[in-house]
Amino acid sequence: MRIRWGLMILMSLLICTACNHSNEQMGYDPDLLSYMVSEPARYYGEGQYYHEIQKIESTALDKQYRIEASGEIKDTSIGKTYIDYAFNYQFLITDQMILQTLNNNRLNDSDFKEIELLRLPLEVGHTWTFNAVMFNDKTVKMTAEIFEVNDTSDEIKVRYTANGYVETRFFKKKFGVTDFIKEVAYKDVKAISGFHLEEGKKIGLPRSESKIKENSNEENAFADINEVNVTPVEHDLILGFNQNYEKKIKLETDNLLDYIMPESPASEKIDNLKFVDVGTFNFMKFKVKSKTTVGDLSTIEVVELYDLGNDQSILNTVTYTLKIYGDQLMIYDFE
């Protein structure tokens, strides 16, 4: 009897050792892998936008698993050559997390080139922080949180946040990301866009909250504005401010301080500015709606037109207060 029990214990130890050795040899977590895209698919976004994953290649590496998913953006407004339309995802699955690398920022996906999609444990409330890599190769701290796990439908929902920027993804086993939503804050404007898997449930983009309208409607509204005349100096000051504000918020080289009065409300707002690569926003032009002058302060209300890509644009109303500093007109405040 003792020999029999001894043999059973020995066999159990050998089986457990073999299982552990198999997991060590695999090196990547099979549960994480199960939430990755496994076949070609089509994804729809706003307006006429959609993109297709047309080819998927998988490779088991040393203690990692790599998936290459390539395809095309089906929107003729975003570029003129095949390079503009082609995209490639790389997913690297390890024993702890999934790392996504994207090679085309014209795709209506993340504004970041490299992010951690999922990290163990796959439980509600699990959070982690990582350095998200932007398309200019600079990094921003991003925090991710799993806020829903549905074992019945095999779905996981994750929210990713950085300064002035939020992404949300719905994952489903064998399908990968079925829904993607991103929110970008720029000045006092919030823009929301994303995509959904063709056969999956559609994401509800709250247009009233996002202030996004069809491109033609926004441009028509902009064209209908009766513009008020201002001096060339005032016009160039506001134009230069906008161009350099966009550069600063995108972490590019800027001369924004050349347009702002030192120790002013505008200077304080710039000092407290939160930076993120909001590649979604591109300043186009502005029109002056009104101008008033009281003492040494000139208040100018303008409507600014921004291109969001994917056949979308947005209008933003900003009031600038201008004041002479020394012998130079500068921006004293904006709101």
CA distances from 6 to 16, 18, 20 (A): 16, 18, 21
Query: What's the predicted TM-score (pTM) here?
Result: 0.62
> Which CATH class name applies to 30-197?
mainly beta
pLDDT for residue 99: 98
pLDDT for residue 165: 86
CATH, domain 223-334, list 3.10.450.540, 2.60.40.10, 1.10.10.10, 3.40.50.720:
3.10.450.540
The domain spans of the chain are: 30-197, 223-334
CA–CA gap between residue 279 and residue 42 (Å, rounded):
23
The half-sphere exposure of 179 on its side-chain side, counting CA atoms within 13 A, is 15
pLDDT for residue 200: 43
Q: C-alpha 213: how far from its chain's center?
A: 19
> What are 12's two structure tokens?
């159990």
Yes or no: say if 78 and 310 are a contact pair by the CB < 8 Å rule: yes
Q: C-alpha 297: how far from its chain's center?
A: 38
Integer Rg of the chain from CA: 26
Yes or no: say if 312 and 48 are a contact pair by the CB < 8 Å rule: no
pLDDT tens, the chain, 335 aa long: 444 544 444 455 444 444 444 445 568 999 999 999 999 999 988 767 789 999 999 999 888 999 999 999 876 455 455 556 889 999 999 999 999 999 876 788 998 999 999 999 999 999 999 999 988 888 999 999 999 999 999 999 999 999 878 999 999 999 999 999 988 766 666 677 888 998 644 333 333 333 333 444 566 777 888 888 989 999 999 999 988 888 887 777 889 999 999 999 999 888 876 555 455 677 888 889 999 999 999 999 998 888 766 566 778 888 999 999 999 999 999 98
pLDDT for residue 5: 47
Nearest alpha-carbon partner for 156 in 133, 174, 132, 138: 174
> What are 253's two structure tokens?
């080289």
